[in-house]
Structure 1
Amino acid sequence: MPKLPEAVNRARAAVGGVLEAEKLALIACSGGADSLALVAAAAHHVRRGQARVGGVVVDHQLHPDSAEITAKAAAQLRDLGLDPVLTLAADVDPSSPDGPEAAARSARYRAFGQALAETGAAHILLAHTRDDQAEQVLLGLARGSGTRSLAGIPARRGPFLRPLLGLSRKETEAVCTHEGLSWWEDPANADPKYLRSRIRTEILPTLEQRLSGSIRESLARTAQIAAEDAAYLEAQAKEAFARLLEDPDEQGDLRLDLERLVAESPAIRRRVIALAVVAVGGSNPSSERIAAVEQLLVRQGSAGPVELEGHVRAERGTRDTSDYGKLVLGPRR
């Protein structure tokens, strides 16, 4: 038998490392090279009787030929032996204040949740590659949002697994070529109005040319190191949060001891504040909002409230109240 391309072996090994024979997994497929390569690698294990794998193709309904593209992708999945194969329409809100990319992502993940519920699958495999990881790190640098952002795309989060983070986009195309699969090139991937597209088509190629030909590998390695550091710091912050937390009151407010919070290192303190915001029903706060809360801790100037994401407020207890010496967080009133 002719020797298999190295990209095919690498993809099969990566996917085989996350599949479990007794549990159904779904492949999220857009019809692009990355997701079709993921399908082909999983299909190899299906043919060998080593895994149960189905697929889910989400039609975002944003391209005039989206129904045809979706149908073609689903047909290729079935031809490769995946079962079941679901095609789901995503309800994308074009007026979302978070922008079209975020709106499409939210709609896509709602469809993924529906697919998990309908099939009873344990996991959904997503086809992010090392190139996606490099782009995500640059996005994190642009936003200046800290270690967790630099950690990029996680290999595993909840039911979602990303086994191809160690492969490049060129390798996924090589897999598709070997398997005789034709993939769709989403024009949005090259549209300069999207920041990620500009990073992909302009910034990364310039960095490769002017800085280092291995910049993508270096950025992906940075993400791995940052992820390990972030995981450790977050574990430490959870322990500190549990130590500093008082029982929430009937109004849903919680309190943290100011003096002990200030004594924590800045890296832990910021994470404790973020955990407290989420604990009272808010969203993960931005670094700017966390910095505003930290200004309350110095016991000078305004005692707040500081408004945070998710309709949450933070304020410092004043001398004439029972909350003196405490940071109080709760729903806005």
Structure 2
Amino acid sequence: MPLYNGGTVLLQRVARTIGKYRMLRQGDLVGVAVSGGADSVCLAAVLRALAPQLGIRLHILHLDHGLRGAESDGDAAFVTSLAEEWGLPCTIEHARLDPNHGNLEQEARRARQRFFAEAIRSAGLARVATGHTLSDQAETVLFRLVRGSGPGGLSGILPVTAEGVIRPLIEVDRVEVRQWLGSEGLWWREDSSNLDPRFRRNVLRQRILPDLEEHVRAGSGKALARLASLAASEEDYWRAVVAETFERSIVGENPLIFNTMALRQLHPALLRRVLRLGLERASGSLRRFTLEHVERLLRLALKSDGEGQAVLPGVTAQRSFEWLRLAPAVPDAAADWMVELPAPGRAPAGPILLEVLEEATVCPAPADGTDCLYNVGRDWLDYDRLSFPLILRNLHAGDTYQPVGRDRPVKLKHLMQSERVPSWNRANWPMIVSKGRIVWARRFGAAAWAAAGPGTRRVLRVGEVEGFRG
């Protein structure tokens, strides 16, 4: 094999990548995540060589996951020695992960994210650089592609993240990394877990991608990485468009509620991205969602009838009439609640604060001699027909009453359907009971038997206190 002579070229390429993505600024203190493996050692050495040119300072970071016993201890010792040799400050932390955890890769990733966030906070780091390469990018895109990711997921590993992580080697492949280390006389440690077939990424790295390169098309890895770059550029364009459309499409934010009539006006490409953003807002991450999850949500949003539900990873989507609600995974059924109101006054009633107040004067005597009580509204009750304490409670199955203006009793469930009350609001619906009978229900007003009318001497007015959030 000819002697590798691309050392200076590699440094120049990494410097261009850093500038292209505006990864660093002069004066930055940069954390460098070093596992001891080839990619991370190359990253640290390259940044050390470029530090005078870039005007940055470095701080080595190493997280021991505690999964490989003496081998892990050796990695930590190697990184510590490397930092001492280069005269760089070094932080070593230890995580204790369960090797029998169902998704060990995910647990390790979360541990690293916590470690980086704490290092940024405690050491005053501007960024944390990781050794992800073009080869890692290709593996990520291929994995997401076969997993069923949408266009956004094909962006792969981002060069710069909102959390402050940067990937200066993202345009350098793994072969170049090892060639450069050899030319510089630098050593690294091999992680035995990289050969463990339990990890899906290792299967892609050791078997699938080499087969693609050999039997399908040479340069497949670079083609996948170019796809990631193209997808990232496309998503950068869509971001502002989607955010603006998203804000126009929602009618509530906690939890998220979409107006499906607005969603129906969108092109499917834009609609998928708006719903995808909704999933991200509702769950905090898109990591568990695939294109199939977005498609299920799209079908729920566009269905002709207004009822339905889809349980997605960590999120429950509910459709009711023209609204689509996204909320964290379905909680247990709402618990019944009951509050006694011993005398006129205020009391919490589930989502609202009710006030039931005695009115000394209903209204001035009308000039035409009619009884103004006919016009006081559906939230006025005849005090003398009620018995304190009043009971404030939520809707119960089968609840029936006859509101003012109705000629017969009706189930509250049917009233809510006719008034288009979303299904997720019904179980917690407030009402007032006296002597075992419903005397008032939110929005639907007084029961005919308890309403103020001719002959009423004392009146109770029911109202909601504005600004209360139960």
TMscore range, shorter length: 0.7 to 0.9
The 8 Å contact of residues 238 and 272 in structure 1, kept in 2 or not, is answered as yes
Say whether 1:313 aligns with 2:316.
yes
Shift of 1:241: 0.3
Amino acid at match of 2:34: C
Deviation string for 1:256-293 (max 9, x for gaps)? 22122022122221221222233345543433332222
Say whether 1:72 aligns with 2:45.
no
Shift of 1:181: 1.6
Indicate the residue corresponding to 2:157 in structure 1.
Answer: 153
Alignment of 1:258-273 (within 5 A): 258-273=260-275
The 8 Å contact of residues 116 and 122 in structure 1, kept in 2 or not, is answered as yes
Alignment of 1:139-178 (within 5 A): 139-158=143-162, 159-178=164-183
Q: Which runs of 5+ in 2 are unaligned?
A: 332-470
SS in 1 for 2:278: helix
Indicate the residue corresponding to 1:243 in structure 2.
Answer: 248
Shift of 1:184: 1.0
Indicate the residue corresponding to 1:32 in structure 2.
Answer: 37
Q: Which runs of 5+ in 1 are unaligned?
A: 319-324
Indicate the residue corresponding to 2:276 in structure 1.
Answer: 274
TM-score (normalizing by structure 1): 0.88
- The structure number with the bigger radius of gyration is 2
More divergent stretch after superposition (234-243 vs 123-132): 234-243
Taking the aligned partners of 1:116 and 1:247, their CA distance within structure 2 comes to 34
Evaluate the alpha carbon distance shift between residue 218 and residue 122 of structure 1 in structure 2; reply closer, same or farther with a 3 A threshold: same
Shift of 1:149: 2.0
The 8 Å contact of residues 306 and 320 in structure 2, kept in 1 or not, is answered as no
Indicate the residue corresponding to 1:204 in structure 2.
Answer: 209
Indicate the residue corresponding to 2:290 in structure 1.
Answer: 286
Shift of 1:304: 2.0
Deviation string for 1:35-66 (max 9, x for gaps)? 11111111113466832111101111111221
Alignment of 1:1-333 (within 5 A): 5-11=5-11, 13-15=13-15, 17=19, 18-46=23-51, 50-64=55-69, 65-82=71-88, 84-97=89-102, 99-158=103-162, 159-248=164-253, 252-281=254-283, 283-284=285-286, 285-300=289-304, 303-310=307-314, 312-318=315-321, 325-331=322-328, 332-333=330-331
Shift of 1:205: 1.1
Taking the aligned partners of 1:184 and 1:109, their CA distance within structure 2 comes to 22
Deviation string for 1:178-235 (max 9, x for gaps)? 2222111112222222221111111111111112221121111111111111222233
Shift of 1:131: 0.8
Deviation string for 1:87-143 (max 9, x for gaps)? 11123244544x111111111111112221221001001111111111111101110
The 8 Å contact of residues 8 and 41 in structure 1, kept in 2 or not, is answered as no
Count of aligned residue pairs for this structure pair: 319
Taking the aligned partners of 1:278 and 1:220, their CA distance within structure 2 comes to 24
Taking the aligned partners of 1:315 and 1:54, their CA distance within structure 2 comes to 48
Taking the aligned partners of 1:282 and 1:22, their CA distance within structure 2 comes to 32
Taking the aligned partners of 2:91 and 2:309, their CA distance within structure 1 comes to 48
SS in 1 for 2:125: coil
Evaluate the alpha carbon distance shift between residue 13 and residue 81 of structure 1 in structure 2; reply closer, same or farther with a 3 A threshold: farther
Indicate the residue corresponding to 1:322 in structure 2.
Answer: none
The 8 Å contact of residues 90 and 111 in structure 1, kept in 2 or not, is answered as no
Amino acid at match of 2:137: Q
More helix by share: 1
Taking the aligned partners of 1:293 and 1:233, their CA distance within structure 2 comes to 20
Amino acid at match of 1:266: P
More strand by share: 2
Amino acid at match of 1:178: S
Evaluate the alpha carbon distance shift between residue 256 and residue 289 of structure 1 in structure 2; reply closer, same or farther with a 3 A threshold: same
Amino acid at match of 1:78: E
TM-score (normalizing by structure 2): 0.63
Taking the aligned partners of 1:168 and 1:174, their CA distance within structure 2 comes to 10
SS in 1 for 2:264: helix
SS in 2 for 1:153: coil
